[in-house]
Amino acid sequence: MMDELVIRELGRDELHTWDALVDRSAEGTVFHSSHWLLTNASLLNKNLIILGCYEGEELIGGCPLFLLNPYGLLRVASSKGISVPYGGVVIAEIENAKQRKRELHRNKVIVPIIEQIERRRLDYLNLVHSPGFQDIRAFTLKGWNPKVYYTYMLPLDGDLSKNPSKDIQQKIRKARKLDIHSTRQFDPEIMWDLTVQTYAKQGRNPPFSEGHLKSLLNLIKEKGIGEMWVAKTSSGEIAAAEVFVWDAKMAHGWTAASAQEHLSTGAVPLLLQEIFLELKEQNHPLVNLMSGNTTQLSSFISGFNPHLVPYYGVEYAGLKYNIAWRLKSGLTAITSGSGTIPR
């Protein structure tokens, strides 16, 4: 006889069980780990809950949610934050199961989680699942709206020197002729300075604070879940920096920045290519380059010949949220003089 399924919030003393599920789930990433979630919840001033699906005493699935109450009027939940690209549901795997059994198992976990979320009568929900979560039908059948995103995955096998396009290879050769070289250097000050420069090129400020970035970099260092590399000129100037984080399944290109005056040197493609080689030596089978949703970044990253991979989000907006959104959008249109009714 099967044990009854129970959906409930995990307590702090159960987070080790959650992390074990994340490690063995196809959907689980470093961004689902309890230390990443808790740190970001604190930095973003959001309340974190993790809904767990228990079959008897066994945790077989779950979904983390960041909760907030903007303007004291709306109850909003999201799976992601500024530095949390993926969230959503994770599910324990069934080994050697055929397709029908896998789908039944997944629905057994997903449907009651959705029902538990809906019982909370939130005004707006936004979940962005990891690339390992490929079936969102349980959500769309309940009226949630689907969203499609893209990322690039690069397998770290074979001869990586043959992967880049001729254009990328030419830039790498140029960098080497200029004596650009890469090295590991975990320095939050450098990362923040380059980040400010990178956004300044676009006429913007970073979407996160200096303290936010440095807190996460310190977490990465403390937990041993990532590394920072820099590219330097022959005179020792920092031309570019990259931070990759990892879990048991793959490495993820988490954040990157570069100096405007060194963009033409080929420092960035050289740095990435040498990081890929080092990640391969560390036995990471795959790297998630996370650049598929921005045209300029896609054009550059596709030069390394990765695979384009879709991943999926789902969204639900209640009546109160829709009214508030229309009022806010209408006010913006009036004050900007656009004269149009925003969709």
Check residue 2 and give its pLDDT. Answer: 57
Distance CA 256, CA 194 (A): 9
Q: Which backbone phi and psi does 109 adopt, to 5 degrees?
A: -85, -45
The pLDDT value recorded for residue 69 is: 85
pLDDT in tens, 261-302: 999 999 999 999 999 999 999 999 999 999 899 998 999 999
Q: What is the pTM of this model?
A: 0.91
Q: Residue 229's closest CA among 262, 285, 263, 182?
A: 182
Domains 5-149+311-336 and 157-284 equal at CATH topology level? yes
Burial of 13 (0-12, 13-18, 19+ CB in 10 A): exposed
Share of the chain above pLDDT 70, in %: 94
pLDDT at 106 > cutoff 70: yes
Conformational region of residue 220, where left means phi above 0, alpha means psi within -120 to 50, and beta covers everything else: alpha
Task: Note the pLDDT tens digit of each residue in 120-147.
Answer: 999 999 999 999 999 999 999 999 999 9
Q: What letter represents residue 322's amino acid? A: N
d(CA 271, CA 224): 21
Distance of CA 46 to the CA centre of its chain: 17
Q: What is the pLDDT of residue 322?
A: 82
Cα–chain-centroid distance for residue 91? 18
What's the alpha-carbon Rg for the chain, to the nearest Å?
22
97 close to 105: Cβ distance less than 8 angstroms: yes
Residue 30 has what DSSP assignment?
G
Determine the average pLDDT of the residues in 212-216.
96
Q: Which of 88-102, 149-163, 220-234, 314-328 has the lowest average pLDDT? A: 314-328
Question: What would the DSSP string read from start to end of 103-139?
Answer: HHHHHHHHHHHHHHHHHT--SEEEEEB-TT----HHH
Predicted confidence at residue 338, as pLDDT, reads 32
Domain ranges of the chain: 5-149+311-336, 157-284
Q: Estimate to the nearest angstrom the gap between the alpha carbon of 233 and the chain centroid.
A: 31
Q: What angle do CA 188, 191, 42 make, to 5 degrees?
A: 60
Both tokens assigned to 9: 């919030």
Question: 322, 329 in Cβ contact below 8 A?
Answer: no
What does the mean pLDDT of the chain come to? Answer: 91
The tokens of 12 are what?
């702090």
Report H helices in the chain: 15-24, 34-43, 99-119, 137-140, 166-177, 188-201, 210-223, 267-281, 295-301, 319-336
Alpha helices in 204-337 (DSSP H): 210-223, 267-281, 295-301, 319-336
pLDDT, position 95: 84
Q: Which CATH class is domain 157-284?
A: alpha beta
pLDDT tens-place string over residues 181-208: 999 999 999 999 999 999 998 899 999 9
Class of the domain covering 5-149+311-336: alpha beta
